[in-house]
Structure 1
Amino acid sequence: MLRVAVVGSGPSGVYTAQSLVEQTLVPDVRVDVLDRLPCPYGLVRYGVAPDHEKIKSLQQNLRTVLEHDRIGFVGNVPVGEDGVPPERLLELYHAVVYCVGAARDRRLGVPGEDLAGSCSATDFVSWYSAHPDAVTHAFALDGRSAVVIGVGNVAVDVTRILARGPDELRPTDVPEAALGALAASGVREVHMVGRRGPSQARFTTKELRELGALPSARVAVEPSDLALDPAYADPSGLPAVNRRNLEVVRGWADRPPEPSGASRTIRLRFFLRPVEILDDGAGRVAGVRFERTVPDGTGGVRGTGTYEDIGAGLVLRAVGYRGAPPAGLPFDPARGTVPHAAGRVLRDGAPSPGEYVAGWIKRGPTGVIGTNRPCAKETAGSLLADAQWLARRTVLDDPVAVLRAWGLHPVEWSGWQAIEQAEAALGRSLGRGPVKIPDWPGLLAAASNGD
């Protein structure tokens, strides 16, 4: 028997576990999928917007994998800093695959970024997704205007959530406190701003079109912004996704002004680079100063020395993710990844026996959910190729029992099912569908009912 730990229960971790147990080269592989949280599914539970039911339904596919008779879910087990060190984990398992994602957001690096009211979109997403680490977060929703910096899918998600009415969010699993705060929000204008043009934006067309379908908001685009895009006049040479994006944005810009019953406005702005978050004099955000940019002829942009201020009480940066150094593992700070060869962790340039990586911590924060499948398969293939000598390592019996003996309190699959039941009951008490429990004590108390 080959006993493997997969650290992280998001798509990359679950796909890695699936690749390990569904192959026939090594017939008896047992996998424990470990997670710091008592709940599985990673960013599918805590990163997908609550109004994206189709994508969230992927949880059912992940559930099917985690219910395999040779896969176990072991939650509430931190690994690394303040948890089980990697070297001790190798006392329990023949091999460990780290699928820990990219936990940090990228910063803008401009003055005023740490003012009250200037936040990462990652934290905002965690808040409305009921991540238990975000329970103390508060966001300035009392101002009339918000600025979202970035033009990727995360930027579109947070823009859409800010612009939705409460009745549109009530049928989702958004936690009650976040729903109440969004219902009381004074935000009526959301500016989504990118430093380059729409033909280079990273959002997908489906996500972009959803902004125009919101019943409580209208989309406005500055035609003068679009005119700066080299592909504006003739988008035929663009890749299909970029061409469709530009066509959608052009359609909004060409639409004549008309009276609208929408209570909110989404303003898409391009070729503006943030240079300073403005202070209201009391240590809070008053807006953002942008420098107008123009194409530099090489696919980038250059500043023009012309500036524009956009007033706002809330600024959300959505300019990408970055891997954080996993405690006890080597790390390449330039790439934000763990050095590896086909998924084998490299220490001082040589493969580290029994240690592997998959997902964003392996390749960086790129691709969509499905990109994790081939990535996981490659890592699983490397591990299985090493199986003969991995199985010679002596490991302790019953890893979960040992974790308990070490003072941890693992939440197994029955505990997760109890959390699901508690969330369904919470939703019924509020006249809603299942509502997420947003805090650690509540999650662990619910999980204890499954023990």
Structure 2
Amino acid sequence: MRHIAIVGSGPAGYYTAEAALKQWGDGVRIDIFDTLPVPFGLIRTGVAPDHQSIKGVSRRYEATALTENVRFVGNVMIGRDVTISELQNLYDAVILATGAPNDRKLGLPGENLANVFGSAAFVGWYNGHPDFADLDPALSHDTAVVIGNGNVALDVVRILAKSNDEFEGSDIVAHALSALDASRIRKIVILGRRGPHQIAMTPKELGELAHLTRACPHVDASDLPDEADDAVLDPGQRKSVGHLRAFASANFCAEQEVVIEFDFFAAPRAILGKDRVEEVEVERTRLDNGKAVGTGETYRIPAGLVIACIGYQTSKIPDVPYDEHSGHFSNEEGRIRPGLYCVGWARRGPTGTIGTNRPDGFAVIEKVATDIGDGASKAGRPGFDALANERGVQYVKFTDWQKIDKAEIANAREGAPREKFVHVDQMIEAATRG
């Protein structure tokens, strides 16, 4: 019998568990650990609340979770309740699937001013992550600045720009919906250091901006390259730039409450204000061999809210080698050291789609299979249970999560699929009820 511990219950964790079941069938026992009492990681707290079709992938993970060979072990923090070395002593392989939940820093003067947030914090706020439920961003100024030219930036912009009615069918949490309904933001500026051809925004997400009921996107036509230059782009990128061209030709922004302004060739240099953000200092850039180079021309954007969507980093774990430059665990194709592995964003950084984690999970299980052979020498699940009992660790099982899930669905406001619990004690209370 092989005993596998997977740390992290998001897409990478469950795809890896699925791969282990296909590799060994009844010859494996898999425990999936998570700090939170609820599973699915990024699907629950990272995917935009108005993208419910994407969240549907959790049904696939649920099928894996309900097999007898797989167990969810929620509300267990690595380092507080159990260490990595202890897990390695108990399991034949420990696989870190912890994702990249931390914001990369801007590295700019003033980034610690009030009402300046990273996207992990801001997205966590409107998605009900317990770490960010009390963030309480002020939405009282008429201008917000969003830094970044990827899909996360588009998610943030779309959430800020939507009307209350447009959130019907979403699982945005009540505290965020109430704050957004009272928002006074009327202009959202998207800063990008490079130009339209360098964006990391996909056509679907860009296209959604054209269908908002009270907001419209605008692009300065002078920022766009000659249309003939689009021929060098791949089809998806060409379609994305096509949306930007449409935004440049639209003439209806004056009729809308909220304007979404794309500011290309614009690098933030400082965030200014006394106690909270009041302005963003920006330097105009130009491209030099594809890189953004400052021109020396600067200007300021008055703003009361800044959200940086510039990437994520994996959380460090004591005694696990870490690549500071790349922001993830040091590894060789998923191997950290004998018996310890990583997968997904914890292995490669925040790249690819949710589905990219599936082949990643299967690849690391192939390495585990080569390394551990028949297993059978470790205590596995019974060993962890004995340790948890000794330390008084009360973990949450998948059947407990199903109680939480049922309670959230029952608490949903009209037109919403659920109302998430945003504090761990609420989750635990629901899990132990009935």
TM-score by length of 1: 0.92
**Number of residue-to-residue matches in the alignment:** 434
Match among 331, 335, 347 for residue 344 of structure 1: 335
Could you tell which deviates more after superposition, 397-406 or 284-293?
Answer: 397-406
| CA distance, structure 2, for counterparts of residue 434 and residue 149 of structure 1 | 30
Amino acid at match of 2:78: V
Aligned to 2:256: 262
Hey, what does 2:325 align to over in structure 1?
Answer: 334
Shift in Å, 1:431: 7.1
| Deviation (angstroms), 1:432 | 4.4
Report what 2:305 is aligned to.
314
1:20-419 to structure 2, matched below 5 A, reads: 20-24=20-24, 27-80=26-79, 82-226=80-224, 229=225, 232-255=227-250, 257-258=251-252, 261-279=255-273, 281=274, 283-296=275-288, 298-346=289-337, 352=338, 354-388=339-373, 390-395=375-380, 397=382, 399-419=384-404
The alpha-carbon distance between structure 1 residues 415 and 395, as it changes in their structure 2 partners (threshold 3 A), is closer
1:436 lines up with 2:434 in the alignment: no
- Preserved contact between residue 34 and residue 74 of structure 2 (Cα < 8 Å): yes
- Give the alignment's TM-score, normalised by structure 2: 0.96
Residues 2-57 of structure 1 deviation map (CA, whole Å, 9 limit, x = unaligned)? 11111100000000000001125x75111111111111000011000000011111
1:89 CA drift (Å): 1.4
In 2, Cα distance between equivalents of 1:405 and 1:186? 53
1:292-319 C-alpha deviation (Å, 9 max, x unpaired)? 00111x1112111111211110000001
Are the counterparts in 1 of residues 408 and 418 from structure 2 also a CA contact under 8 Å?
A: yes
Provide the rounded CA distance (Å) in 2 between the counterparts of 1:99 and 1:189: 38
- The answer to whether the 8 Å contact 1:85/1:328 transfers is no
Instruction: Tell me if the contact between 1:117 and 1:139 (Cα under 8 Å) persists in the aligned partners.
Output: yes
Native 8 Å contact 2:90 2:378 kept in 1: no
CA distance in 1, matches of 2:143, 2:66: 46
Which residue matches 1:349?
A: none
Tell me what 2:412 maps to: 427
Mapped partners of 2:229, 2:18: distance in 1: 45
Structure 1 unaligned segments of length 5 or more: list them.
347-351
Cα offset, 1:331, TM superposition: 1.3
One-letter code aligned to 2:208: E
Deviation at 1:60, TM superposition (A): 1.2
- Which segment drifts farther, 153-162 or 167-176? 167-176
CA RMSD in angstroms, aligned pairs only: 1.8
| Contact 1:218–1:260 (Cα < 8 Å) also in 2 | no
Deviations 1:272-292 (A, max 9, x none): 00001121x3x1111211100
- The one-letter amino acid paired with 1:69 is E
Question: Is the contact between residue 153 and residue 203 of structure 1 (CA under 8 Å) also seen in structure 2?
Answer: yes
The runs of 5 or more residues in structure 2 that have no matched partner are none
Secondary structure (helix, strand or coil) at the match of 1:133 reads: coil
Structure 2 Cα separation of the partners of residues 108 and 399 of structure 1: 40
- Seen in structure 2, the aligned counterparts of structure 1 residues 235 and 304 have a Cα distance that, compared at 3 Å, is same
